[in-house]
């Protein structure tokens, strides 16, 4: 490391440039990781909070909650077992003084586990008709408050916010928990239609095929959330590409520097300085560059997290960020393989005689 550090100190500009490049790439990787995680979370948070294993949907819905309707006759075929909760889901626009906020209305029954487990951070659970619980992002980002009234269409009932919950987002929209009756009023125009959207199962359903319905795992349903898997693969592709760019940049940079130093390395070899020592220094240099770059971009990422508006769906998840940093470091080691090989090939005899 002696040589690595001395050289970096001596050629500050050169190494400053490459560290800057690594800082920018690492920063981009961190932000994309945060965005990928944040978006994925805001797609599935509410479902995750139910802590369930399976879901029963209409088989025509092809796994998509949004497209599923289960009639009361179909619902009756599902044998009851502990840990079942019916839900009704519809995408709505909450309207307050000309301002519209897209939201996901989820009707639930007060005698079932989703209602019972809703985590209230302010206010209380709904008890009466037209009372709802909303996700806190509607408070933070859209100006709603406990006690506010809003409609979801011109002829919908006026709902009153009686409770605030957290971590309740579905398909990037805040969840509005209402009674099943209120949901039916919004979706079907009447409280007397007995349809629901799905049945969430805490434990796997102990029942074979049911006509017209299908049971799938919660994970499968999450994959069918519109845009969810496409989004994830886009992010994975971008991050993977940036990692590849990191390898190439490190490899090119160290390779060029190594080529410039070959006559000196040849002399060092003549003097009996082991190839291993020189190789260790190049790998050390590559590690120093990336670790410095990661630390600086980590600080930038932290600052970003502090100033970014809460409406931006970005969540910096430590294990993920550390994982990404680990991958960048791995890339820098891979990037130093090529320059390392050229050091091993240096022939000390070339150092003598001045040519």
Partner 1 sequence: MSTIEMKNISKIYQNGTTKTYALKDIQFKADNGNFITITGPSGAGKSTFLEIIGGLLTPTSGKLLINHHSYQNLNKKEKEKFRLNTLGFILQSYNLLPYLKVEEQFQLVHKVKKDNNVGPKLWKWIVDELGIQKLNQQYPDELSGGQKQRVAIARALYTNPQIILADEPTASLDSARAFKVMKMFKQLAQKDNKLIIVVTHDLRLTQFADQHYQIIDGQITKA
Report the interface residues with Mg ion, using CB under 5 A: 353
Among 82, 147, 272, 309, the residue binding partner 1 under the rule CB under 8 A is: 272
348 binds partner 1 (CB under 8 A): yes
10 near partner 1, rule: CB under 8 A:
yes
If binding is defined by CB under 8 A, does position 259 make contact with partner 1?
A: no
Q: How far apart are CA 303 and CA 34, in angstroms?
A: 13
> Which residue is listed with tokens 């102990």?
206
Contact 69, 133 (CB under 8 A): no
Q: Kindly write out the interface string for residues 163-192 of this chain, putting x where it contacts partner 1 by CB under 8 A and - elsewhere.
A: ------------------------------
Choose between 309 and 354: whose C-beta lies nearer to Mg ion: 354
| Residue 111 vs 271, nearer CB to partner 1 | 271
Q: Binder to partner 1 among 28, 266, 291, 333 (CB under 8 A)?
A: 266
Nearest residue (CB) to partner 1, 263 versus 302: 263
Nearest in space to 2 (alpha carbons), one of 301, 233, 273: 273
CB of 8 to partner 1, least distance (A): 9
Report in angstroms how near the CB of residue 355 gets to Mg ion at its nearest.
Answer: 8
Interaction between residue 19 and partner 1 (CB under 8 A)? no
256 belongs to the binding site for partner 1 (CB under 8 A):
no
345 binds partner 1 (CB under 8 A): no
Buried b vs exposed e over 200-224: b needs ≥16 C-beta within 10 Å? bbbeebeeeebeebbbbebeebbeb
Segment contacting partner 1 by CB under 8 A, of 116-124, 184-192, 268-276, 328-336:
268-276
State in angstroms the smallest separation of the CB of 250 from partner 1: 20
What span, in angstroms and rounded, lies between the C-alpha atoms of 242 and 35? Answer: 15
Q: Is 241 in the site for partner 1 (CB under 8 A)?
A: no
Q: Which of the residues 99 through 118 are near partner 1 (CB under 8 A)? A: none
Report if residue 304 touches partner 1, rule: CB under 8 A: no
Compute the distance between CA of residue 292 and CA of residue 250 in angstroms, rounded to an integer.
Answer: 13
Per rule CB under 8 A, count of chain residues that contact partner 1:
27
Binding of partner 1 by 334 (CB under 8 A): no
| Residue labelled with tokens 């044998």 | 79
Among 21, 146, 273, 315, binds partner 1 (CB under 8 A): 273
Contact 50, 117 (CB under 8 A): yes
275 touches partner 1 (CB under 8 A): yes
Judge whether 94 and 101 are in contact, CB under 8 Å: yes
Q: Which of 17, 244, 270, 312 binds partner 1 (CB under 8 A)?
A: 270
Taking the complex as a whole, the smallest distance from the CB of residue 353 to Mg ion amounts, in Å, to 4
**With contact defined as beta carbons under 8 Å apart, do 268 and 279 qualify?**
no
Q: Does 12 bind partner 1 (CB under 8 A)?
A: no
Which residues bind to partner 1, rule: CB under 8 A? Answer: 2-3, 6-7, 9-11, 263-264, 266-275, 277, 347-349, 351-354
């Amino acid at each position: 490391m002696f040589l690595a550090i001395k050289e970096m100190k001596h050629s500050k500009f050169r190494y400053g440039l490459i560290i800057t490049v690594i800082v920018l790439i690492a920063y981009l990787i961190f932000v994309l990781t945060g965005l990928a995680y944040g978006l994925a979370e805001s797609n599935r948070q509410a479902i995750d909070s139910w802590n369930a294993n399976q879901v029963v949907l209409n088989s025509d819905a092809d796994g998509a909650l949004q497209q599923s309707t289960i009639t009361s006759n179909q619902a009756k075929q599902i044998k009851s077992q502990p840990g079942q909760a019916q839900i009704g889901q519809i995408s709505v626009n909450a309207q307050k003084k000309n301002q519209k906020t897209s939201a996901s209305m989820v009707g639930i029954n007060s005698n079932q586990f989703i209602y019972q487990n809703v985590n209230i951070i302010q206010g209380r659970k709904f008890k009466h008709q037209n009372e709802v619980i909303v996700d806190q992002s509607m408070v933070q980002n859209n100006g709603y408050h406990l006690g506010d009234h809003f409609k979801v269409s011109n002829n919908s009932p006026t709902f009153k916010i009686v409770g605030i919950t957290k971590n309740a987002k579905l398909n990037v929209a805040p969840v509005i928990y209402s009674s099943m009756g209120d949901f039916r009023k919004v979706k079907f125009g009447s409280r007397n239609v007995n349809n629901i959207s799905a049945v969430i199962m805490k434990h796997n359903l102990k029942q074979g095929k049911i006509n017209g319905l299908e049971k799938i795992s919660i994970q499968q349903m999450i994959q069918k959330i519109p845009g969810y898997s496409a989004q994830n693969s886009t992010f994975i592709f971008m991050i993977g590409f940036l990692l590849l760019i990191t390898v190439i940049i490190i490899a090119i940079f160290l390779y060029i520097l190594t080529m410039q130093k070959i006559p000196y390395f040849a002399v060092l070899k003549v003097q009996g300085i082991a190839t291993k020592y020189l190789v260790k220094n190049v790998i050390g240099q590559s590690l120093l560059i990336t670790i410095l770059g990661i630390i600086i971009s980590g600080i930038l990422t932290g600052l970003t997290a502090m100033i970014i508006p809460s409406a931006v769906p970005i969540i910096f998840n430590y294990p993920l960020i550390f994982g990404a940093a680990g991958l960048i470091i791995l890339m820098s080691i891979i990037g130093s393989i090529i320059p390392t090989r050229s050091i091993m090939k240096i022939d000390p005899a070339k150092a003598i005689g001045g040519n």
